[in-house]
Amino acid sequence: MYNSDQIADWFIVRHSVDCLCLGKIKEPITNMKLNKLMYFAQGTYLALYDERLFNDLFYAFELGPISNEIRKKYPEKYISELNDYISDKKAIQLVKNYYPILSDEKAEEALHFTWDEFGYYTASELVTISCDKDGPWAKVYKKGKCWIPINDDDIKEYFKDSVIECS
């Protein structure tokens, strides 16, 4: 199992490549987009392999599932250090977290699937998708309440039935 930094950094590298090098993405990566991509990756991995990809829980907030670790690490909506200028120190950290995943066939499959299915959506589109009225977020979300954990079994079943099977 990975830690959330490793998975977040995989998405940040992938976003940077597609955005900067290939010109496929115009929207900067935000805390919200990163949280949703990580939620989809966790759900995909649970559905495919019946185990967690990384150690964070997801909580039901008004705008969908949120990882507390990512929320704390990137408290600002717009993550300028990931979009405007990446320091040498940050670049080294990104590479150190990105490359070990490349040798893990299961993680690579789940992350590439997640990116191919969801990576090109905007943050607001990902919020809409993650707040599906029939999904695991909707099962536990209560207006005005935060920090309600979303059950891994609910995430797994939803992704098996509604995401993996539909692709």
Name the residue among 92, 99, 127, 109 with its Cα closest to residue 53. Answer: 109
E strands in the chain: 58-61, 64-67, 148-149
Judge whether residue 104 has pLDDT over 80: yes
Tens-place pLDDT, residues 30-46? 889 999 999 999 999 99
**Which pLDDT score is estimated for 78?**
55
Domain count, the chain: 1
Tens-place pLDDT, residues 9-19? 899 888 877 77
Judge whether residue 162 has pLDDT over 70: yes
**Which pLDDT score is estimated for 139?**
96
**Greater model confidence, 100 or 78:** 100
Averaged confidence pLDDT in the chain:
88
**Which pLDDT score is estimated for 39?**
98
**Which pLDDT score is estimated for 62?**
95
**Which pLDDT score is estimated for 160?**
95
% of the chain at pLDDT higher than 90: 61
Structural domain span for residue 41: 4-164
The Cα 163–Cα 167 span in angstroms is 6
% of the chain at pLDDT higher than 70: 88
Tens-place pLDDT, residues 62-92? 999 999 998 888 776 656 555 556 677 877 8
User: Residue 113's CB: how many other CB atoms inside 10 A?
Assistant: 19
pLDDT confidence tier of residue 126, bands split at 50, 70 and 90: very high
The Cα 72–Cα 3 span in angstroms is 14
pLDDT confidence tier of residue 99, bands split at 50, 70 and 90: confident
